Structure 1
Amino acid sequence: MSTSTTASVSTHILDTSIGRPAEGVAVHLSARSGRAADWQALGGSATDADGRCKDLPALPEGATHVRLDFAVEPYFEEKSAKKQADAQQDAPANRDSGAPSVFFPEVAITFAVVPGEHYHVPLLLNPFGYSVYRGS
């Protein structure tokens, strides 16, 4: 990959509800060349034990916009199932009321890129909110 003609992207996820990396979240990468262009799916990865995706595909030459799609619902469902299994003796008020385990089932982050730049986009996540920023 030539850094003079393409941009590069990396990401990681921190589950702020537990203060730890979010492992096993599927992340898909798409790009387009211009606002009116169609999105091109480039592939995906899943976060590792450190909450990082170390093998996201390279961006194509001419990419101007990038989208990261995070499938967070399965992550929170698995976490909720483990918590329920560990806490079967909780008081009735603390048991699952049938409410969803996550408010945002997926998070899509779209951002502009320029050739030669690296974009690290961390996702700070909890079951009922998220925040994102351009990292370093």
Structure 2
Amino acid sequence: MSDGYLTTHVLDTARGRPAARMTLVLYHIVNDTRAELARTVTNADGRTDGPILPESSFQTGTYELVFHVGDWLGEAAFLDKVPIRFVMSEEAHYHVPLLVSPFGYSTYRGS
């Protein structure tokens, strides 16, 4: 078993609250080919109920986490899908948060 896993937290910075019920899709990227690994929805706290990529499925490599912001925002959406491509190069806890508003977003490697 690995010690690596992936989590996220989505916050609505325009309203100052968690982004509940947003769809997220995780892809593994190999030679620019995407393979879907997980599809989930954020809970009331803007997090997923468990790791998006749990320890039992973890492997190093390139991943893309796609946040379905447009579906979540509805008709007021400027943003549609926010893809974040990143590399997990060691067995560790990776946390990829998203701060989102109707007209912009920010991300970083969290803890």
Shift of 1:61: 5.4
Instruction: Show structure 1 runs of 4+ deviating over 6 A.
Output: none
Equivalent residue for 1:112, pick from 60, 67, 87: 87
Q: How does 1:89-104 map to 2 (within 5 A)?
A: 101-104=76-79
> What are the Cα deviations for residues 22-66 of structure 1, in whole angstroms up to 9, with x where unaligned?
000000111135xx2522210211000000013324374543111
Does the alignment pair 1:2 with 2:2?
Answer: yes
Does the alignment pair 1:42 with 2:37?
Answer: yes
**Letter in structure 1 aligned against 2:2:** S
What CA distance in whole angstroms lies between the structure 1 residues aligned with 2:107 and 2:8? 10
Q: How does 1:76-87 map to 2 (within 5 A)?
A: 76-77=73-74
- Residue number in structure 1 paired with 2:48: 53
The answer to which structure has the higher strand fraction is 2
TM-score, normalised relative to structure 2: 0.87
CA gap of 1:19–1:64, structure 2 versus 1, over 3 A, is same
Structure 1: where are the runs of 5+ without partners?
A: 78-99
Give 1 or 2 for the bigger CA radius of gyration. Answer: 1
TM-score, normalised relative to structure 1: 0.72
Does the alignment pair 1:73 with 2:48?
Answer: no
The question of whether the paired residues in 2 share the 8 Å contact of 1:23 and 1:47 is answered with yes
Question: What is the RMSD of the two structures over their aligned residues, measured on CA atoms?
Answer: 1.8
What CA distance in whole angstroms lies between the structure 2 residues aligned with 1:61 and 1:134? 17
Does the alignment pair 1:31 with 2:28?
Answer: yes
Q: Percent identity?
A: 38
Equivalent residue for 1:64, pick from 61, 66, 72: 61
CA gap of 1:61–1:72, structure 2 versus 1, over 3 A, is closer
